[in-house]
Amino acid sequence: MLEERVVYLNGTFVPWNEAKTHMMCHSFGRGAAIFEVLSVHEVDGGASLFRLDQHVARLYRTAELLGMRLSQEPGEIHEACLESVRRNGVTRGFVKVICFHSGIAFEILPPDVPLDVSVFVVDPAADLGGLKFPFDRGASACFSRWRKLDPQCVPVEAKAAANYLNGMMARAEARSRGYDNVIMLDTQGFVAEGGTESVFMVENGVLMTPCAGTVLLSITRQSLLQMAEVLGLEAREARIQPDRLLKADELLFSGTPNKVLPVRRLEDRDIEGTPGPVTRKLFDLMNGITSGRDHRFREWLFPV
């Protein structure tokens, strides 16, 4: 099915198998690519993109943090995402925007030219075999020996391909230990995030998540904090010691593919009652939002 998709590339659309660059390009050899992944939802019989404006804004923020320039204006990328979904006929799935240096380079510094811009669209059911972790099943997790990248080493806010080696190593460790996912600590020993997800805990009815500074400023994370306010839930951003997760009433991950994913087991502790009441409230509200039924958040959806 992927071979039938079309890809946006620098202002034009090409067949999936023609979306290529040279293996000696700078972004392949050095990891100097930046990206965004956003979800597509079926709303009123058509497709809508979740928080497209926030994703485009974060893409430009990443470029700014890394001293990069994009070859397209924000409005062009915004429309490219909508048109890519339209041309691929996807009503449920994901959009991945990848911006990269296509020029051949041996040097550690990239060429002083704007990044190429590409947009891919996939349907997880048709193209990827479906989502791996359904809500009712949840996920198991362990703490990783690998620490989250320190903000004094690289800008952890940047959604850059090279930064994801960190999460990849942690996730591989979890798999080798028989767990689905992983929780990483920062270099000071506080809870940071999962391999590619934000981490939330519920303690005495209060929703908590690690504060900004050592984590990616996840759009889904921010969405859940805003949703908690509407639900009348107390929500806090805080420095969280790992032992608090082992005693928490509820744990969950959040990210683009699984916006609310319960953690049913952490290390050797089974979390009874998973998914818990707060997790379920967030999940139900998110379903209402992404289906277009909850009009309080209608501005989060961008119809194709």
- Kindly state whether residue 297 falls inside one of the protein's structural domains: no
Rg (CA), the chain: 19
Q: What CATH number does the domain containing 123 carry?
A: 3.30.470.10
Which tens digits make up the pLDDT trace of 73-92? 999 999 999 999 999 999 99
| Token reading at 66 | 């890394």
Q: How, if at all, do strands 139-147 and 181-185 pair?
A: parallel
Structural domain range at position 74: 2-127
Is residue 141 within 8 Å of 181, Cβ to Cβ? yes
Look at the alpha carbons of 240, 241, 243, 244 in this order and tell me if their dihedral is positive or negative: negative
Which tens digits make up the pLDDT trace of 17-46? 999 999 999 999 999 999 999 999 999 999
Q: How, if at all, do strands 235-238 and 206-210 pair?
A: parallel
Domain termination site, one of 127, 147, 171:
127
| Token reading at 115 | 């990044």
Give the Cα separation of 298 and 100 in Å (integer).
Answer: 32
What average pLDDT does the chain have? 96
pLDDT at 132 (0 to 100) = 72
Rounded mean pLDDT, 97-104: 95
- Kindly state whether residue 12 falls inside one of the protein's structural domains: yes
**Same-domain pairing of 229 and 275:** yes
Which tens digits make up the pLDDT trace of 128-179? 887 777 788 899 999 999 999 999 999 999 999 999 999 999 999 999 999 9
Specify the number of domains making up the chain: 2
pLDDT at 44 (0 to 100) = 93
